[in-house]
Amino acid sequence: MSMDKATVARIATLARIKVPEEELEHLAGELGQILGWVEQLGEVDTADVEPMTGVGGVSLPWRKDEVTDGGYPERILSNAPGAEAGFFTVAKVVE
Amino acid sequence: MSELTRLTLAEARDGLGRGDFSAREITEAHLSAIEQARSLNMFITETPERALADAGAADERRARGEPLTLDGLPIAVKDLFCTDGILSTAASHILDGFVPPYESTVSAKLRDAGTVLLGKTNLDEFAMGSANVTSYYGEVENPWRARGDNRRRVPGGSSGGSAAAVAGRCALAAIGTDTGGSIRQPAAFCGIVGLKPTYGRCSRWGIIAFASSLDQAGPMTRTVRDAAIMLRHMAGHDPKDSTSAPREVPDFEAVIESGVRGMRIGIPKEYRVDGMSSELEALWQQGVNWLRAAGAEIVEVSLPHTRYALPTYYIIAPAEASSNLARYDGVRYGLRVEGNSVQEMYENTRGEGFGAEVRRRVLIGTYVLSAGYYDAYYLKAQKVRARIAQDFARAYEKVDAILTPTAPTAAFPIGEKMDDPIAMYLNDVFTVPASLAGLPAISVPAGLSGEGLPLGLQLIGRAFDEEGVLRAARVLEEAAEFTALPTMLGGSV
């Protein structure tokens, strides 16, 4: 399938990745090629099959809903590009 | 090359036990080997101080008569495992400076067993790649070169640094992760053993996530016995990973010499792909002959959906990756590239922080999960994945394990297949099906190509039958007598 520049730009926005305008054309070609290649899955009869969402058919275990960890905000914040008074900081989001 | 770096993990364990040498001596021998091989770029972070401290502690424990099971054995860890207090990068710019305040379960288990950490090995960025050429920290070079051809070759990927380090005698063993072949394919390219356990055998906790329904940690070693030893100390249920299996961990090493008499080995006709080289086909047949000679019954099986495995994988893995990698937003750790708003900061950070292959996969993943395309791509791929798993389930009604080649070619020169993503993806044509089905699979070095490069054979087992896989792998290993050394270490050129 082919993909146009506008579609790539839209996906890039959804994915929150800045893609320079001059790279859109090339990326559209690459992504279109990959999507064209995966379209062969259309040949497979999947009428009576359940989608496989995990491996082994194991049901996820239950556990008690309780606090088992925590109490060390300084460790959590130790890698933050910006932190202040026990919080992560980002540019202002509300006026 | 020191004699001590030539030992297998099992030999080194036994030598330390007898007091033939100390943990410090074998650690120093490996640190010096790493220094000499530095131009191959196997490690992102070397940890010599930590290694010597670990070795010193191991020697003290042994002197007190209280050695741990793997005390003093120097190993390398793929830089996808988070390590407490040590830079952990996933080979990505976006994790610049990230020093985790916690340790992954698998690396913690190995540490608790007494192993010595030599360093964090290079990989494809976020484990996305088959040649270790997408790392932000530069490509890794394979210690092997072709006969009469001086071009530098890829070690395979994504666990390329781990594979090169083990092949180059820079570590007794290493750990890697495998999502679609990232342990087995580099093991084949570098002439070592690589085992991807059953999905759920090892905890994924603390491993930087790529595709959560596929990722699995496993050992990379020079012998089947060493893989068995490592796996025993990596596996086990972990309450912190809800998909880790609540199963007992067998003593894998105890069964590896049990042979294959009476075992039924399947040969899937769909793996005879167009254009398979005659030497690879001959090696595969050789593997069949070896197993038959050892008493296995050879059975032709059919895995009819094999050819759909790669396109299925290239929907599911990018979809899961696009979701997993959403966390890299410049807020909590790693790189931040400022902007005029939070939205702009996210976009700038991710635009600059992700390399070309990661960006491509995140965009594909975002597309196939987006409104209007989800059913056509993602849901369809999940259904085809079910078909692929059914194929294996049917085959295992007739056989106990399946024998295939590991990769379609030997290691190729650095720079090849770079312009064509799909050509690169085809490296994983034989490894991806077992990943999708969550099955254990091992690559064993089985011979050299006409050019003098290693080739591997793959055994795929039933879920949680690593023991069967290891037994059959041991038979292949014994028959193949693969003793060739990489070019870097003076192997024939």
pLDDT at B493: 45
| Catalytic residue flag (residue B323) | no
**A83 within domain boundaries:** no
> How many whole angstroms separate alpha carbon B221 and alpha carbon B193?
5
**A71 within domain boundaries:** no
Tens of each residue's pLDDT in chain B, 493 residues: 579 999 999 999 999 999 999 999 999 999 999 999 999 999 999 999 999 999 999 999 999 999 999 999 999 999 999 999 999 999 999 999 999 999 999 999 999 999 999 999 999 999 999 999 999 999 999 999 999 999 999 999 999 999 999 999 999 999 999 999 999 999 999 999 999 999 999 999 999 999 999 999 999 999 999 999 999 999 999 999 999 999 999 999 999 999 999 999 999 999 998 888 999 999 999 999 999 999 999 999 999 999 999 999 999 999 999 999 999 999 999 999 999 999 999 999 999 999 999 999 999 999 999 989 999 999 999 999 999 999 999 999 999 999 999 999 999 999 988 778 888 888 899 999 999 999 999 999 999 999 999 999 999 999 999 999 999 999 999 999 999 999 999 875 4
Task: Judge contact between B263 and B290, C-beta under 8 A.
Answer: no
CB contact under 8 A, B101 and A37: no
Distance from CA of B101 to the nearest CA of A (A): 6
CB contact under 8 A, B384 and A31: no
> How many whole angstroms separate alpha carbon B129 and alpha carbon B131?
6
Cβ neighbours for B93, distance < 8 A, ≥ 6 positions apart:
B136, B335, B352, B353, B354, B355
**A82 within domain boundaries:** no
> How many whole angstroms separate alpha carbon B174 and alpha carbon B176?
7
Q: Which of B88, B159, B162, B182 is catalytic?
A: B182
Distance from CA of B336 to the nearest CA of A (A): 6
For chain A, helix, strand, coil in percent to 5 are: 40, 5, 55
Residue B410 structural domain: 3-264+398-489
**B379 within domain boundaries:** no
Measured in degrees and rounded to the nearest 5, phi and psi for residue A54 equal: -160, 180
Distance from CA of A25 to the nearest CA of B (A): 13
How many domains is chain A built from?
1
A47 close contact with B: CB closer than 8 A: no
CB contact under 8 A, B338 and A91: yes
> How many whole angstroms separate alpha carbon B84 and alpha carbon B107?
10
Round the average pLDDT of chain A to a whole number and report it: 91
Alpha-carbon B54 to chain mean position: 24
**A65 within domain boundaries:** no
> How many whole angstroms separate alpha carbon B159 and alpha carbon A84?
38
B85 close contact with A: CB closer than 8 A: no
User: Which residue of chain B comes nearest to A10, CA vs CA?
Assistant: B367
Partners of A37 on chain B (C-beta within 8 Å) are 311, 314, 422
**B273 within domain boundaries:** no
Residue A34 structural domain: 5-41
Partners of A43 on chain B (C-beta within 8 Å) are 308
CB contact under 8 A, A18 and B354: no
Distance from CA of A48 to the nearest CA of B (A): 9
Residue B11's CB is within 10 A of a number of other CB atoms, namely 16
Nearest CB among B246, B311, B437 relative to A37 is that of B311
User: Which residue of chain B comes nearest to A3, CA vs CA?
Assistant: B367
DSSP one-letter code for B29: H
> How many whole angstroms separate alpha carbon B105 and alpha carbon B333?
21
Q: Which of B78, B109, B120, B196 is catalytic?
A: B78
DSSP one-letter code for B375: I
Angle between helices B466-480 and B278-293 (to 10 degrees): 110
User: Which residue of chain B comes nearest to A13, CA vs CA?
Assistant: B347
| Catalytic residue flag (residue B78) | yes
A58 band by pLDDT with thresholds 50, 70 and 90:
low
A94 close contact with B: CB closer than 8 A: no
**A34 within domain boundaries:** yes
pLDDT at B378: 96
Count residue pairs from A and B with Cβ separation < 8 A: 164
**B84 within domain boundaries:** yes
Task: Judge contact between B207 and B104, C-beta under 8 A.
Answer: yes
**B371 within domain boundaries:** no
Q: Is A57's pLDDT higher than 80?
A: no
ipTM: 0.95
**B49 within domain boundaries:** yes
A40 close contact with B: CB closer than 8 A: yes
Select from A2, A13, A16 the residue whose CB has the most chain B CBs within 10 Å, as the one to mutate to test that interface: A16
User: Which residue of chain A comes nearest to B88, CA vs CA?
Assistant: A79
A86 close contact with B: CB closer than 8 A: no
DSSP one-letter code for A60: P
| Catalytic residue flag (residue B182) | yes
pLDDT at B329: 96
**A30 within domain boundaries:** yes
**B356 within domain boundaries:** no
Cα torsion angle, B233, B238, B244, B250, sign: positive
> How many whole angstroms separate alpha carbon A7 and alpha carbon B118?
46
User: Which residue of chain B comes nearest to A30, CA vs CA?
Assistant: B421
CB contact under 8 A, B243 and A40: no
A54 band by pLDDT with thresholds 50, 70 and 90:
confident
DSSP string, B329-366: SSSSSS-----SSHHHHHHHHHHHHS-HHHHHHHHHHH
Alpha-carbon B72 to chain mean position: 23
Closest CA to B194 of B147, B170, B245, B159: B159
Phi-psi region of B354 (alpha: psi -120 to 50; beta: other; left: phi over 0): beta
**A23 within domain boundaries:** yes
Task: Judge contact between B78 and B120, C-beta under 8 A.
Answer: yes
pLDDT at B492: 54
**B43 within domain boundaries:** yes
The tokens describing B115, both together, are: 């192993």
Residues of chain B numbered 194-223 and touching chain A (CB < 8 Å)? 198-200, 213
CA dihedral A74, A80, A84, A85 (to 10 degrees): -20
**What is the domain-level CATH number for residue B217?**
3.90.1300.10
Distance from CA of B103 to the nearest CA of A (A): 13
Residues of chain B numbered 125-184 and touching chain A (CB < 8 Å)? none
Nearest CB among A16, A52, A78 relative to B385 is that of A52
Closest CA to B483 of B6, B122, B36, B5: B6
**B144 within domain boundaries:** yes
